[in-house]
Each structure stands twice: as structure tokens, then as C-alpha cells.
Amino acid sequence: MQRNGQALLDAAAEVFARSGVGAPVREVAAAAGVGVATLYRHFPTRSDLVVAVYRHQIDGLAASGPALLASEPTPFTAVLRWVHEFVDFLGTKHGLARVWDGDAAGFTALHTLFVDRLVPVLADLLAAARGSGDVVAEVTPYQLLRAVGDLVAFAPGDPDHDARRMVTLLVTGLRQEQPLIRPA
Amino acid sequence: MQRNGQALLDAAAEVFARSGVGAPVREVAAAAGVGVATLYRHFPTRSDLVVAVYRHQIDGLAASGPALLASEPTPFTAVLRWVHEFVDFLGTKHGLARVWDGDAAGFTALHTLFVDRLVPVLADLLAAARGSGDVVAEVTPYQLLRAVGDLVAFAPGDPDHDARRMVTLLVTGLRQEQPLIRPA
Amino acid sequence: MQRNGQALLDAAAEVFARSGVGAPVREVAAAAGVGVATLYRHFPTRSDLVVAVYRHQIDGLAASGPALLASEPTPFTAVLRWVHEFVDFLGTKHGLARVWDGDAAGFTALHTLFVDRLVPVLADLLAAARGSGDVVAEVTPYQLLRAVGDLVAFAPGDPDHDARRMVTLLVTGLRQEQPLIRPA
Amino acid sequence: MQRNGQALLDAAAEVFARSGVGAPVREVAAAAGVGVATLYRHFPTRSDLVVAVYRHQIDGLAASGPALLASEPTPFTAVLRWVHEFVDFLGTKHGLARVWDGDAAGFTALHTLFVDRLVPVLADLLAAARGSGDVVAEVTPYQLLRAVGDLVAFAPGDPDHDARRMVTLLVTGLRQEQPLIRPA
DNA sequence: CATGAATGAGCATTCATTCAT
DNA sequence: CATGAATGAATGCTCATTCAT
């Protein structure tokens, strides 16, 4: 990860924020003041680049879980706060939601990263909150993580859409037994 | 609706389900066994085609709201059931979630249709459920509709993702006052 | 040339004036409130339609030659006036200049009509003006007619281009022996 | 001007001569033995390509004006010769006349080039010829340049059309006061 | 290691023309 | 005779990816 490597990461972060994670490769290379081939050398697939760009923040999120568990008054508020940190992270990334899309070429690695790094953290948080009796609904950490991700999808540009509120709603739902719904 | 009109609708429904609403025009035309120009004649813009494909089901959803209000034991379960009908509708459409994306060229019309036809229905359901004291959280019908849509996004292909459960969680959340979350 | 025939002619005249002689066939048919096939029945090629549209005015121009020869003070002013009548005719037709273009599919017939009807008229005018000693330059009627047509080409939209003045300049040049110019 | 730059210019010159300046992009690329994208890389818009193809010759024309003024016996013959050099240039380009057409997408740049580089040259020539009393007709350099261009339009393929002679006629007309022609 | 030129597949869209009804 | 639905070739343009220098 030499000089060009970092320049590419910075450029990619900026371009992804502006034009989405699916932005043209050349745009990123250009923004980094680097030839396309250099980009390909450092990050053979788009996935690699995306992961590299976000790894730091994801690490931060991972670290934040235990910290919140220690500092928050209850495990439930820890869950709530952590989930909102995840929202903060996703919120600035235009179109990052496609990560969950199986098809979406080039997001597999990020998907994996989410699962590897964040799911365990959320699992611990949820377990604790379940232990304290606050969370009763049956959900897997993966499901919740993904649901939050979906709620933030494409948020920018729609002033009527309040992702934060929706996520809170979702987490609040965890406190109750879920009614059974069967297709009529 | 001449000779190929229906064939095109069927083909589009099938292709959209498989490859997403953004599938190549030619693919749809081919699936219908028809020249591209024929498709263009019937549906000048992609939006027109998308709307035409889903209009029937959306009409059904719109009609279902009042019906559920009458038949369900409580307004809240009516909300719950209706929302799940919406999930049923979205669930089969790969990538229909992009509808909410402002950028996505060609989805404006569908977005409009959602807002025009479904938001009012959900508004009535929510109002009733609020009247009976079941729903207390502050959410606009538009926000809720969109949130549900987001939760179903890209569902297919990920067996671990249970959109139905997540949506129930969200709706359950409506029964509680929402805690205030401020960014640290 | 029944009812539809005339409707097509009127529509074509209007459309040609607006969008040029190369306007889409469907546009003409639509303007006439008629199916495309009907247009094709009446005018198998675009050329046929174009010719039919302008035949009347061309007949008028043809008739005008002898008339001017009789009414104008000198044969030369008759030439000048007639040529300007031709300019008036061409001036309103966007892109009619392509008539002279050999390639231009669909203009052969109009080209022929020009040659058949107008060249003889201009020939008579020029002969008379030559007889009176006013015209001395060597030019064939065909060359002059075409040159005038070229000068009017694409006139609309360029306020700095004064076709009328240029045509006058050209005709004025007829009064002098032409210097020999050889490529260096 | 990398590997294929010159090949593209040569190919374009050849294709433009054959099929006109509006020839399909792919055709030019193919003639150069090059992918379309390569062409687009070198010349983002058609205009750029057209300008590049003709810039050299236009520069030559621009330089030729003062030279002729110095070498020719009279300013008038300088005008005449220069205009014929312009004819030589245009003569080989099929359909270059469309340059004057405001509509014609992609010719703006060439039009601009003509106006910027050639109009001033012709202006000087005309001024000199006016100073020596040879040119008396009122014409702007732009009008004359364009008129010459129009006269050469589509010349190839019509053996009966002698652009050179017509242009001479036009220039000869400059020596006389123009009669007033008003529409009857 | 870095470059960026070259490639060509892929997609949307328009239009002249034919043909079954 | 009239209709207009259907056709598919043609064209401009973008972008991910490879490769010679």
C-alpha cells in the first residue's frame, strides 16, 4: 500500500460519496491522478477497492460495540446507539445498499466484511440485550444488520425519508413478541 | 392493446422478475418474441412499461386496504396484514426497490403511482390504528411505505434474509413511543 | 388523387416547411390523419411526395418566365426577377437544397422536375438577355439554376446570410466576360 | 497524437470525402482499423474530428491570403484566386456544405473555425480590392465566404455543375453596383 | 511498478418499409 | 382502398478490462 495506494483510497472515498459505489473506474483513477492500470494493480476487482475504502470505518464500528456495552446504561440502548452508528456510516454512501444485492458484481467482498466483522459485534450486543430482557423478538444479528442497511438505502435525495427514525422503529420492535403473520 | 401488447407485459413481468426492472429493453422485446420498436410503440418509456406491468397488482393493493379495515379484528392487524400484502407484491420483483431511488431513470412513474395509490390507503389504515390507540409512534404513511419497500429490497437470493420478519418488527415498533436518539 | 391524396399534400407541405423535406414519413401521415400505408399507396417514394407537393409552384414559376419577358423593360431584368421568384420559392423550404445532392435518396424526381420544367424557361430568358447584349458570361441555364439553388441552401437561421443579395451578385456577374482562372 | 491519432485523421479524411462529414462514427473507426472508443478518446465529439481533419488546410488558406495580396497584380485578382483556393479545398469534400447549416449537429466547431480563420483573411482581401476600386458591391466577407461554400455544395457527382465557373461569376459580380430587387 | 491507449461488447433509440386484417 | 402494428437495421455513445511501452 504505497503512495498510490493511499491516493487511490482517498480518491475512491470521495468519488464513491459523490457518484455512488458504482462510479466509473476511470473516474476514480483520474481523481487519484493515476492510470487505470495502477488502480487495477492495487485493487484487482471493484470489490477490493470498496472494501479497502471502508475497512477503517468498519473496524471502528466493530470496536464500538463492546465500548457501548460498557458505557451505556442498558444493553438495549447500546444496541440502539450502535445501530445508529451503523446508520451514520451508511448514510453518507450513495448507493452502498447494493451491497446486499447478491447480483451486484463487486460487492461480495464488502458483504463478507460486514458479515465477518459486524455481525459478531451485533450478535454480542443483541445477546446482552436479550439477557437483560429488553429484546424478546426473534431475529438473527445478520437479519437485523441487513435490515438496517436496507432502510438506509438510497436515503439521500428524498427529504421525506427519515432513515434514522425508521431504524429506531425497527429496533423498538425488538422489545415485543412478534405476532405471527401468515399469508392469507 | 393490440396483438403483442399483452405478450410484452407478460414478458416484461418475467424479465423484470429475473433480471430486475432495469433489464435491457432488447431482452424484454426478445422474451416477447417481438422487435424492439414494437415495444417502443406500446411503451414509449421504460417507465410506461414498468407501470403497466404492475398497475394491476397495485390496484389490488389499494382496494385491499379498506377491505382489511372492515374484516380484521383490529385496525392494527389490518395495518399489519396490508403491509404484508405489500411485501408479497414486492417480494417477487428483483430490484424493484430502486423505485425509491430518485436517480433511477425510468422509475418516476412507478414512484408516483406508489405515492398516489398506496400512500393514501396506508394513511387511512394508520389513522384508524392510531385512533384505536395501537399505533403511537410518529411516522408518515410515506415513510412507512418506503421503509417496507426498502426492507424487501433485493430479498431474493439471500435465504438468511427474512423480509417478512423484518417488516413485522418494524410495524410492531409502531406500538411504542420512540426514544430520542441524537448523534453522540 | 382522392380526398386522402390532397390531405397528404397539404400535410406534407406543412411538415416539410417545418421540419424539412427529410421529415419522418410518419409525421406526414400523422399530420394528414392517415395511416402510413396510405401515404405509401399514394406516393410510393419520398420523391413522389416531394414532387407532388411542389409541382404547383413549379408550374407557376414556369409560367412566369415568358410573362416577365413580356412585361419587364429588358430581358436582363426579366432574368433577374425570375431568378428571384425562384429564390422566393426555395426560400421557404428548409433543406430543399439537398435536391441537388445526387446521393440524397428521394430527390431524384424533384431534380428531374426542375430540369424539365425550369431549365427550359431559364434558357429562354438567358437567350433573350444574351441577345440584347446584357448577358455575356458563358453559363448554361442548368448551371445557373443550380447555383441559385445552392445559394439559398440552408438560408433560414443565419441572419447574416443574405441569399437574395448573393443571387443578385451572381446574376450581375453575367454581364461581364469571365476571367480565366486556372489552378496554380 | 498517439499511435492511432494520425490513422484516424487519415481515415476520417477519406471517409468524409466519400460519404460526407456526417458519416457514421463506426465507419471512420473501421476505416482506421480502430475501435470506436479509440476514436472517441481522440475526438470526443464529431466536431472535434471534423475540425482536426481540416485544420491544416484551413491554416494554409489563411496564410495564402496575404501572400496573394503581395504576389498578384491587383487586389481583385488576389480575391479571385484566394476564393478559388477555397473552392479547391471544399471541392473534394462531399457534403461539407452542411457546415453552414445551423442545425447540423457537430459542425459548430468547423463553422467557428471558418469564421475565425478565414473571414478575417477574406475581409482584408476585399478591403484591398475595394480600395483599388475594383469591388463596389456591398457584401460582407462572411456572406461571400458562405456563398462560395454554398456554390460548391454537393458538387461532386454532377458533371454539369461547374462550381469554379459559378464562383467566378459571383466574384465578377462584385465589380458592379447591385440593382435593387424588391419582391413584386 | 506505472502508464494510458486501445478494445469491443452492450444499450437505447429512431425510422423506412412491409403486410395481415 | 385504408389501416397501423410489426419489423429490424442503423447509429451514437459508455465503460470495464487488457496490454505494449
Q: Which amino acid is at B87?
A: V
Range of weakest confidence among B48-57, B109-118, B150-159? B150-159
Higher pLDDT, B157 or A75: A75
The pLDDT > 70 percentage for chain B reads 85
- The confidence score (pLDDT) of residue B105 equals 59
Contact call for residues B97 and B110 (beta carbons, < 8 A): no
Q: Maximum Cα–Cα distance for chain D, whole Å?
A: 61
pLDDT band (50, 70, 90) for residue C179: confident
pLDDT over 90 at D17, yes or no: no
User: Is the backbone of residue C51 left (phi > 0), alpha (psi -120 to 50) or beta?
Assistant: alpha
Average the pLDDT over A146-175 and give the result.
Answer: 83
Query: Does the CB of A74 have a partner CB in chain B at under 8 Å?
Result: no
Average the pLDDT over D126-152 and give the result.
Answer: 94
How close does chain C come to D158, measured CA to CA in Å? 7
Rounded-to-10 torsion of CA B103, B105, B110, B115: 30
Range of weakest confidence among C20-29, C106-115, D6-15? C106-115
pLDDT over 70 at C171, yes or no: yes
Residue with nearest Cα to nucleotide F10 C1': D24
State the Cα–Cα distance between residues D145 and B117, nearest whole angstrom.
Answer: 62
pLDDT in tens, D26-37: 999 999 999 999
How close does chain C come to D135, measured CA to CA in Å? 12
Q: How many angstroms separate the CA of B6 from the C1' of F16?
A: 36
- The confidence score (pLDDT) of residue B101 equals 63
Contacts D173 to C, Cβ<8 Å: 168-173
Contact call for residues A153 and B156 (beta carbons, < 8 A): no
Range of weakest confidence among B62-76, B154-168, C40-54? B154-168
The size of the C-D interface in CB pairs under 8 A is 140
pLDDT over 90 at B65, yes or no: yes
How close does chain C come to D156, measured CA to CA in Å? 8
The pLDDT > 70 percentage for chain A reads 85
- The confidence score (pLDDT) of residue C36 equals 94
The pLDDT > 90 percentage for chain D reads 59
CATH number 1.10.10.60 is the correct assignment for the domain at B1-44: yes
Q: Chains C/B: 3 or more C-beta pairs closer than 8 A?
A: no
- The confidence score (pLDDT) of residue A95 equals 63
B residues 32-61 lying closer than 8 A (beta carbon) to A: none
Average the pLDDT over D133-159 and give the result.
Answer: 84
pLDDT band (50, 70, 90) for residue B182: low
Query: Does the CB of C175 have a partner CB in chain D at under 8 Å?
Result: yes
The label of the residue with cell 392517415 reads: C34
Q: Name the range with the highest mean pLDDT among A149-153, A161-165, C125-129.
A: C125-129
How close does chain B come to A14, measured CA to CA in Å? 19
Average the pLDDT over D175-180 and give the result.
Answer: 86
Protein footprint of strand F, defined by Cβ closer than 7 Å to any strand atom: A 22-26, 36-37, 40, 45-46; B 2-5, 33-38, 41-42; C 2-4, 34-38, 40-42; D 22-27, 36-37, 40, 45-46
pLDDT over 60 at B156, yes or no: no
Q: How far apart are the first and last CA of chain C?
A: 56
Would you kindly state where each structural domain of chain C is located, as residue ranges?
1-44, 46-173
- The DSSP line for B136-181 is -S---HHHHHHHHHHHHTT-TT-TT--HHHHHHHHHHHTTSPPPP-
pLDDT over 90 at D156, yes or no: no
Contact call for residues D106 and D45 (beta carbons, < 8 A): yes
Higher pLDDT, A106 or B12: B12
Query: Does the CB of D92 have a partner CB in chain C at under 8 Å?
Result: no
Locate A16 and state its grid cell.
464513491
State the Cα–Cα distance between residues C28 and C44, nearest whole angstrom.
Answer: 14
- The DSSP line for B39-100 is HHHH-SSHHHHHHHHHHHHHHHHHHHHHHHHHHSSSHHHHHHHHHHHHHHHHHTSTTGGGGG
- The confidence score (pLDDT) of residue B145 equals 94
pLDDT band (50, 70, 90) for residue D138: very high
Residue with nearest Cα to nucleotide E21 C1': B3
- The confidence score (pLDDT) of residue B93 equals 66
Strand F bases, protein C-beta under 7 A: 1-20
Average the pLDDT over B159-181 and give the result.
Answer: 87
State the Cα–Cα distance between residues A122 and C156, nearest whole angstrom.
Answer: 71
pLDDT over 80 at C130, yes or no: yes
pLDDT over 70 at B140, yes or no: yes
Q: Name the range with the highest mean pLDDT among A117-131, D102-116, D139-153.
A: A117-131
pLDDT over 70 at B157, yes or no: no
As assigned by CATH, the class of the D45-173 domain is mainly alpha
pLDDT in tens, A109-157: 888 888 999 999 999 999 999 999 999 999 999 999 999 988 887 555 5
Where are any strands of DSSP class E within A15-171? none
The pLDDT > 70 percentage for chain C reads 85
pLDDT band (50, 70, 90) for residue D81: very high
CATH number 1.10.357.10 is the correct assignment for the domain at C46-173: yes
Q: Looking at the partner chain, which of C103, C164, C176 has a beta carbon nearest the beta carbon of D175?
A: C176
Average the pLDDT over C11-35 and give the result.
Answer: 90
State the Cα–Cα distance between residues C148 and C168, nearest whole angstrom.
Answer: 9
pLDDT band (50, 70, 90) for residue C152: confident
